[in-house]
Amino acid sequence: MNAETSPKAALSAIVERLGPGAEGVWCFDRFELDPGRGEFRCGDTPIALRPKTFALLIYLLAHPGRLVSKDELLDAVWPGVVVTEDSVTQCVGDLRSAMGDRSQQLIKTVPRRGYILDAAVTHRHTPMEQAAPEARAPLPADIQASGAARSRWRVPLVSAALLIAALAGGLAVWWRPAPPVQVDSGIATRRAVAILPFTDLSEQPSPALSEAMAEDLAASVSRLPNTLVFAIDSTGRFTGQKADPRTAGRELSATHVLTGSVERRDERTLIRAQLLNTNSGVVLWSERFENDGATQWSWQQDITQRIANALDDRLNGDLRPPSSFATLKPGAVDATLQGVYLLRRVRSSEDLLRVRALFESALAIDPNSAAALTGLGLSHLVDVNMRWSTQREHQTQLASEALERAIALRPDFAVAHYGRSQVLYIRGRIDEAALACEQALKLWPNQPMCLRRLGFLRLEQGRPDEVEPLVAMAIRLDPLNAVQVSYGHFYIGMARFHQHQDDQAYKEMQKAVAAIPKNGFGWQWMAAIDALHGRDEQAKANLAQYEQLIPGHTIGSLKATETSTDPRFWAERDRFYVGLHKAGLPE
């Protein structure tokens, strides 16, 4: 039997268990659930839920702070229907996606046992429920219960009738008026990843190892913004070399499937992973990881986060726009996805204007999309950071407003906190910027972009000795991203210079321009170091390369963009400007 064919029975069972407490509007965190109107809201914004997901949320709200087992939820939401625990897992995943609860702050999983709604819950009565019995709406005839069934009910019939009507017969109450497009949840449905247990190819296979790999990967990937991950409870049955990843993806309604293998050979461990598009079967990405046992190794940090980062880029790439900038006419979800993808690839201010238009078009449809708001804010920050903006303060303010609104809507959206860190840095509030970056890393641990950013901020705080561990980890976790690698070596080079390790700093700058020859700042710093050490001809050559890539700078204009006021920072940064002057950059 289809799990969605019996909404009346589900509500009847739940109402019978809950008693009079089922009445009214349930309030928790920033959300409200109004069973009488068939609405789930964040503030004034309706959030669409499937009928069973709505019913499951009612049951969790009636039991806050208590472990609710999967069997209990199956009995309450699917009475008399034979379904597996996957149905519960799917509904909980839908709820987390709808609420932006990627970090499981509201609905916590107790492995192998069930779930806890970890939130203070209150409920209030509506005017309809407080009215006299004769003033209330009659029970619709098509859902009149039998006499035996009525004798079991212990709640007002109006409340139960509205609850059932919301879930049954065309969902008339549920979908009028139609809620606005929910961009963030729409993105998650395009980035739904099923992580299958890795096949253990060792001579003595260990099911515990392959399952642990899958669980750790699920934890890392689930922290990616706007990504829905199917837990091991759902994917565990697709085990072994004969399991078909595409079949698993279709059965779970996953757009992508991550599969792989792990093999132990004496002291060596070999891990292979690949990401497939469920519909096409195309392998979007694959990589092999190997450890010889001679060095300390933790797959949680060294492997799972690298895979998660690679997936983030490949998932966006798989959703990239099929046409040029000029011909894009996407809907809200597509506009946001395309904006995110293209924002990483802008090459000019004209590109950036077209990217910004994508986010603005998405927000015209769904003004409460944290993803689109964050993209809009970051587009303004790129303008400022690349020095394309002629209205630096104005665009910084626009970025701040968009990012703060995104955080208000989704406090767990890590990328918005990363953007806030950039705004605070531009405004010279470096310590606060570092705290915002740390918050982003709490929500999205080991994210390379955030690690690199925090390393840069440590330098600005006059703590150069703390830069390299952070930035080196960013490079290690995202070694194929040329931009990350180039600017990572650039930041390490600056830190080395601030520690009076000029030779090592020069080598890092060479690595920076080797990764991206158009990284003009790497050539700039090599020119300064050359001049400080009497290599005048090489200094002039490197300075010419820098001025060709980034023309028009003077020492005064560069100093004007510095935000740090830390005396330890300036004690070393002044030495850099002396080198630039000796190399020939005008004052």
Give residue-wise pLDDT tens across range 326-361.
Answer: 333 446 777 787 787 788 777 778 888 988 998 998
pLDDT for res 331:
65
Under the banding of pLDDT at 50, 70 and 90, the label for residue 418 is very high
The more confident residue out of 175 and 378 is 378
The secondary element (H helix, E strand) that includes residue 273 is: strand 268-277
Give residue-wise pLDDT tens across range 480-534.
Answer: 678 788 999 999 999 999 999 999 999 999 999 999 898 889 999 999 999 999 9
DSSP characters over 482-533: HHHHHHHHHHHHHHHHHTT-HHHHHHHHHHHHHH-TT-HHHHHHHHHHHHHT
Q: What's the order of all strands across the beta sheet hosting 114-117?
A: 67-69, 114-117, 107-110
Distance CA 185, CA 226 (A): 7
Domains annotated for the chain, with CATH where assigned, are: 7-179 (1.10.10.10), 185-299 (3.40.50.10610), 320-446 (1.25.40.10), 474-587 (1.25.40.10)
Distance CA 238, CA 242 (A): 9
Q: How far is CA 539 from the centre of its chain?
A: 43
Buried b / exposed e along 340-362 (16+ C-beta atoms within 10 A): bbbbeebeeeeebebbbbbbebb
pTM of the model: 0.56
Distance CA 483, CA 287 (A): 20
Give residue-wise pLDDT tens across range 428-459.
Answer: 999 999 999 999 888 877 778 888 999 999 99
Residue 104: closest CA among 244, 260, 229, 207: 229
Residue 116: closest CA among 124, 126, 107: 107
3-state class of 112 per DSSP? coil
Of 26-30, 307-311, 429-433, 518-522, the range with the lowest mean pLDDT is 307-311
**Per-residue pLDDT at 147 exceeds 70:** no
Of 173-177, 412-416, 532-536, the range with the lowest mean pLDDT is 173-177
Residue 259: strand pairing partners:
274
Average pLDDT value for residue range 378-387: 88
pLDDT for res 292:
66
The secondary element (H helix, E strand) that includes residue 354 is: helix 349-365
pLDDT for res 412:
81
pLDDT for res 314:
61
Relative to beta strand 45-46, strand 39-42 is antiparallel
Angle at the Cα of 295 (from 289 to 299), degrees rounded to 5?
Answer: 45
Distance CA 199, CA 209 (A): 9
Q: Are 218 and 207 in contact (CB under 8 A)?
A: no
Buried b / exposed e along 533-555 (16+ C-beta atoms within 10 A): eebeebbebbbebbbebeeebee
Distance CA 495, CA 363 (A): 40
**Can you give the C-alpha Rg of the chain in angstroms?**
28
